[in-house]
Amino acid sequence: MKVLSSSSLRRLLPVLMVCLSLVTSPLMAQTPQPQPQPQPQQPQVQTMIPAPPRLAAKSWVLMDADSGRVLAQHNPDERLPPASLTKLMTAYLVERELNSGNIASDDLVPVSERAWRTGGSKMFIEVGEQVPVSELLHGIVIVSGNDASVAMAEYLAGGAEPFADIMNQHAARLGMSNTHYMNPTGLPHDDHYSSARDQATLAQHIINDYPNHYSIYRQKHFSYGGIDQPNRNRLLWRDASVDGLKTGWTEAAGYCLVASAERDGMRLISVVMGTASEEARAQESQKLLSYGFRYYETLKLYDQGAVLNTPRVWGGDRNELKVGVDQDVFMTVPRDRNEELTAKLDIRADLTAPIAAGEQVGSMEVRLGDEVVGERPLLALEPVEEGGFFKRIFDKVQRFFANLLGGFFD
């Protein structure tokens, strides 16, 4: 029998150590379950959900502001005249410029004759005046000032037409595929249109992207130049949970309203377009909001930055990667069914360094029973740099044996 020398044993020792590490450590590190959802303390009676209400309107949408789930809809993508709902985009772009630091709230905006002469609803600014940006933003949102909208368009883009081009670029960026703007006011034009779904999407961005400006939308009155005007959103007086957003009317558009309300931490957005009167748009919006709050709830499943998994990484300066989500994850579900929520992680196999922070490495699917109610990308929450030479060689050997042994159990 051949006897191995001590030098031969020393050469075999690293391979033996690799095999031992494979036996004593788990091979499949890519499929742990996500953190469990809290279970109810006692059995709950499932809420029976009726069909959504039918409204006296051309189109409508009810959306949760956090999850983006649409709870009720009718002709949501029909292209209709938006009237002064247009000013939601005008205001959004003003808020965007304020947040970016490109303009300041106390910047003085000169009022041109064109702005002063613009027809329709007015803030009543005068030719030659210099009006602070903050005052014009209030005039756009609260009293739907066409004169204020044109003045801001001229200040930001040099005119109403180039400003409309910017509006269209941002509409495309936000995924508003059934929207096209010809002006910043909503005054009628054959090529000026939007949809209920697009208006809900825009409202969601106004609420979530620039929350520091959102308080303007709940103000009931605005005074400028000694003239006091009320906000035309009647729900602000009728429902304490309603805090926005904007009304609109032209003969072609009918009476429109984008409203939002928050109750017990749940925020809903309703859009109704093409109703017959001011009272009708308020009543129909109230029906949608009442339905959503009565029969649904929105749950926060994961916090931004939550670590949902730590899969094995090969060839890196560390062996594990923290995987999770880069924003809060909300899901809107029928009331009293939260115990049916499950999440499944699908993480890319054989993760190899280098991996950059923010790189997508998989996806998460959330189900309510058998129904898929949401999907989110899974991202690397930290970078993993390439390991040193010997680390990479060691990982290649270990990976070879992992794949080899894994094949025996297929």
Q: What single string gives the DSSP state of each residue in 275-343?
A: ESSHHHHHHHHHHHHHHHHHHEEEEEEE-TT-EEE--BEESBSSSB--EE-SS-EEEEEETT-GGGEEE
Beta-carbon contacts of 335 under 8 Å, excluding residues fewer than 6 positions away, are: 47, 295, 296, 297
Label each residue of 364-404 as H, E or C.
Answer: EEEEECCEEEEEEEEEECCCECECCHHHHHHHHHHHHHHHH
- The C-alpha atoms of residue 270 and residue 85 are separated, in whole angstroms, by 13
- The pLDDT value recorded for residue 267 is 98
Report which DSSP code applies to 244: E
The catalytic site residues sit at 84, 87, 144
Q: Which residues pair with 351 in a beta bridge?
A: 313
- Which of 151, 218, 136, 222 lies closest to 184, judged by CA? 151
pLDDT number for residue 23: 36
Give 407's contacts (C-beta < 8 A, 6+ positions apart). none
Phi, psi of 23 (to 5 degrees): -75, -35
Measured on CA atoms in the order 332, 337, 339, 345, is the torsion positive or negative? negative
| pLDDT value at residue 29 | 34
Query: For the chain, how many residues are written?
Result: 410
pLDDT of residue 18: 38
Whole-number pLDDT of residue 45: 57
Q: What is the predicted pLDDT for the residue at 403?
A: 67
Residue-level pLDDT at 388: 79
**Distance between CA atoms of 147 and 140, rounded to whole angstroms?**
9
**Element at 13 (helix H, strand E):** helix 6-24
pLDDT at 332: 95
How far is it, in rounded angstroms, from Cα 361 to Cα 377?
8
Give the relative orientation of helices 146-157 and 160-173 as an angle to the nearest 10 degrees: 80
Q: Which amino acid is at 89?
A: M
Angle between helices 6-24 and 389-408 (to 10 degrees): 60
Instruction: Per-residue pLDDT tens, the chain, 410 aa: give them.
Output: 343 333 433 443 344 343 434 333 333 333 334 444 444 444 455 668 899 999 999 999 999 999 999 999 999 999 999 999 999 999 999 999 999 999 999 999 999 999 999 999 999 999 999 999 999 999 999 999 999 999 999 999 999 999 999 999 999 999 999 999 999 999 999 999 999 999 999 999 999 999 999 999 999 999 999 999 999 999 999 999 999 999 999 999 999 999 999 999 999 999 999 999 999 999 999 999 999 999 999 999 999 999 999 999 888 888 899 999 999 999 999 998 888 899 999 999 888 889 999 999 999 999 998 889 889 999 999 999 887 776 677 767 777 766 666 544 33
Q: What angle do CA 258, 279, 240 make, to 5 degrees?
A: 60
Quick one: CA torsion of 369, 372, 374, 377, rounded to 10 degrees?
A: 110
Distance CA 81, CA 274 (A): 9
pLDDT of residue 144: 98
Which pLDDT score, from 0 to 100, does residue 350 have?
A: 84
Query: Residue 320: phi, psi to the nearest 5?
Result: -125, 150
Helical H runs in 146-301? 146-157, 160-173, 196-209, 235-238, 278-295
Q: Classify residue 127 as left (phi > 0), alpha (psi -120 to 50) or beta.
A: beta
